[in-house]
């Protein structure tokens, strides 16, 4: 097992690639993940304190914050909307997990996600289609991906569940 990277190193890696292109409009409209769904996603991924949870399109930051509060994990949110990044950072301070969670204003298609052991997603099927090659290329074997409501077409989930009317999907990188 390799030594855990400090959160500052993880953020530096993700930030360098995420900010290399000009800002563009978000790919999807922001819709927050309900708290019980966020917890179920993290449970489905089997998150522990050894994990680094990346939330792509992190909105208000609730998934990385819950990962830090409940599971002791480190978290990184990638969000293209600067107002949501500012809100996420404030939410992390308010939750007393700002030392374990960071938020990057950047593009989920260019951010370096290679330090992630868990990726959480609430993005459309078409965005997942475009994101799939990047995740398969950058994530290490054993990394887990959890998606709320949407799935990768042609990539069978290792596990699925339904929570409060929402479908959740889990994939593991071989």
Task: Compare 23 and 136 and report the one with higher pLDDT.
Answer: 136
- In the chain, what percentage of residues exceed pLDDT 90? 80
Per-residue model confidence as pLDDT tens digits over 15-34: 544 444 446 565 666 788 99
Give the residue numbers spanning the domain of 69: 7-16+29-172
Summarize the confidence of residues 80-91 as an average pLDDT: 96
- Neighbour-count burial for 99-120, b at 16+ CB within 10 Å, e otherwise: ebbbbbbbbbbebbbebbbbbb
Q: What is the model's pLDDT at position 31?
A: 81
Q: Does 37 fall in a domain?
A: yes
Summarize the confidence of residues 83-95 as an average pLDDT: 97
DSSP state of 154: T
Contact 119, 47 (CB under 8 A): no
Q: Does 24 fall in a domain?
A: no
Q: Does 22 fall in a domain?
A: no
Per the structure, how many domains does the chain have?
A: 1
Task: Compare 20 and 87 and report the one with higher pLDDT.
Answer: 87
**Could you tell me the CATH number of the domain that includes residue 159?**
3.40.50.150
Q: Does 126 fall in a domain?
A: yes
Q: Does 21 fall in a domain?
A: no
pLDDT at 92 over 90: yes
Q: What is the model's pLDDT at position 23?
A: 61
pLDDT at 11 over 80: no
User: How large is the angle between the packed helices 35-45 and 62-71, nearest 10 degrees?
Assistant: 60
pLDDT at 53 over 80: yes
Summarize the confidence of residues 81-96 as an average pLDDT: 97
Q: Does 56 fall in a domain?
A: yes
Q: Does 134 fall in a domain?
A: yes
Q: Does 160 fall in a domain?
A: yes
Contact 123, 131 (CB under 8 A): yes
Q: Model pTM?
A: 0.84
Contact 59, 32 (CB under 8 A): yes
- In the chain, what percentage of residues exceed pLDDT 70? 83
Summarize the confidence of residues 105-128 as an average pLDDT: 96
């Amino acid at each position: 097992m390799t030594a855990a990277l400090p959160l500052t190193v993880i953020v530096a890696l993700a930030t360098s690639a995420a900010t290399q292109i000009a800002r563009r409009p978000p790919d999807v409209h922001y819709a927050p993940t309900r708290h019980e769904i966020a917890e179920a996603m993290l449970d489905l991924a089997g998150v522990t304190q050894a994990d680094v949870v990346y939330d792509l399109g992190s909105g208000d930051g609730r998934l990385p914050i819950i990962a830090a509060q409940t599971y002791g994990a480190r978290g990184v949110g990638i969000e293209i909307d600067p107002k949501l990044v500012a809100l996420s950072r404030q939410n992390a301070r308010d939750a007393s997990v700002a030392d374990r969670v960071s938020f990057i204003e950047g593009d989920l298609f260019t951010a370096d996600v290679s330090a992630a052991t868990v990726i959480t997603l609430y993005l459309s099927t078409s965005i997942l289609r475009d994101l799939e090659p990047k995740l398969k290329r950058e994530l290490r074997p054993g990394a887990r991906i959890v998606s709320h409501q949407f799935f990768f077409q042609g990539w069978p989930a290792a596990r699925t569940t339904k929570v409060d009317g929402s479908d959740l999907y889990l994939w593991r990188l071989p």
